[in-house]
Amino acid sequence: METTLFTAPLSDAEYDSAAEIIRSGGLLGIPTETVYGLGANALDPEATLHIFEAKGRPQDNPLIIHIPDESWLPRYCHDIPPAAYALARAFWPGPLTMILPRRDNVPLRTTGGLETVGVRCPNHPVTLEIIRRAGVPIAAPSGNTSGRPSPTTAGHMIEDMWGKIDGIVDGGPCGVGVESTIIDLTGTPPRLLRPGGLPLEALEAVLGEVAVDKAVVAKLADGERPKAPGMKYRHYAPKAPVTVVTGDPARSAAYIQSHLSPQSGVICFHECTSLFRGHIVHDLGPARDKAEQARHVFDALRAFDETDVPDIWAQCPDSSGLGLAVGNRLKKAAGFHVIEV
């Protein structure tokens, strides 16, 4: 298939062509502030089937639908609690997905067979304009091939999807770099299903008590089902095993130094890179700058796909603020093989 590349800023005619790809049932790579998405008309089960096929995504793993503002919520959801509007006012457009009861016009194909739907309003002007012109919500999971790290640049999207989809919109590198935070509003108290670009503390400031799903912090036992079906899948399955080391940065660096082999790969804080000369090292960002770490975590993981390292050691931030999401992505890549020092 021929893939069209659209590069921001898009002309009026390019916006129309991109929207037409969505309206006619095609697949379009779209930029958001979190990661790049693989988008299709959320209301068209044929179109969303193609998302699962292009990614090799299991069909029980539901898609998030993207809308341009909160006024679209009642079109696709019912029994919307006041908390949903409070969150939308506080954090949309932004990296927050809400789980709500779905209306019948959202196909079960899109929701992975669930009676609920995940809805988000992304903070990217190009994608918001494409959704408005298409006139339908865009279902979009992360635009990677299943099992690879999420794409945070159009280049990553091109690596995974060129020739397989109708178009890719290059809207620049993603400002957040990890996926959206997912909050389930169908029960009491609201439940965090996936940590992401909006910190748990920000949700608590609006909602009060928030329960944290077990899948966020630990590996589930065989047969255990997380409430967000996607949390049971490993994001990234490197040939080499990953070990995550948590704790004070000086101590975790010392631990890695004394355990790594000469060929080991390392993901570490900026301040520690010089300790690992001679190794393939990916800089996660300064130890105190979790927003920078969020922007780098998938790129660091993806880069090891090109190498033959026998194992990978990763430093990990503490779990306050964005650290919960950065640590979750690293720990998932490690199959929750974590050492606390």
Where do contacts with Mg ion occur on this chain (CB under 5 A)? Answer: 142
Half-sphere exposure of 297 (CA within 13 A, CB side): 37
Query: At its nearest, how many Å lie between ligand AMP and the CB of residue 209?
Result: 20
182 versus 272: smaller Cβ distance to ligand AMP? 182
Residue 339 and residue 246 in contact, taking contact as beta carbons nearer than 8 Å: yes
Out of Mg ion, ligand AMP, none, what residue 118 binds, judged by CB under 5 to 8 A for its kind, is ligand AMP
Q: Is 48 in the site for ligand AMP (CB under 6 A)?
A: no
Out of ligand AMP, Mg ion, none, what residue 99 binds, judged by CB under 5 to 8 A for its kind, is ligand AMP
64 versus 84: smaller Cβ distance to ligand AMP? 64
> Which window, 22-30, 225-233, 242-250, 288-296, contacts ligand AMP (CB under 6 A)?
225-233
Instruction: Report which residue's Cβ sits closest to ligand AMP.
Output: 230
Q: Is 142 in the site for ligand AMP (CB under 6 A)?
A: yes
Residue 336 and residue 219 in contact, taking contact as beta carbons nearer than 8 Å: yes
Out of ligand AMP, Mg ion, none, what residue 64 binds, judged by CB under 5 to 8 A for its kind, is ligand AMP
Token digits of residue 84: 């949903």
Annotate 250-289 with b (16+ C-beta within 10 A) or e (fewer).
eebbbbbeeebeeebbbbbbbbbbeebeebbbbbbbebeb
DSSP string spanning 60-87? TSPPEEE-SSGGGHHHHB-S--HHHHHH
Token digits of residue 339: 């050492």
15 versus 36: smaller Cβ distance to ligand AMP? 36
Instruction: Report which residue's Cβ sits closest to Mg ion.
Output: 142
* Pattern 238-267, ligand AMP, x by CB under 6 A: ------------------------------
Q: Can you tell me whether residue 117 is helix, strand or coil?
A: strand
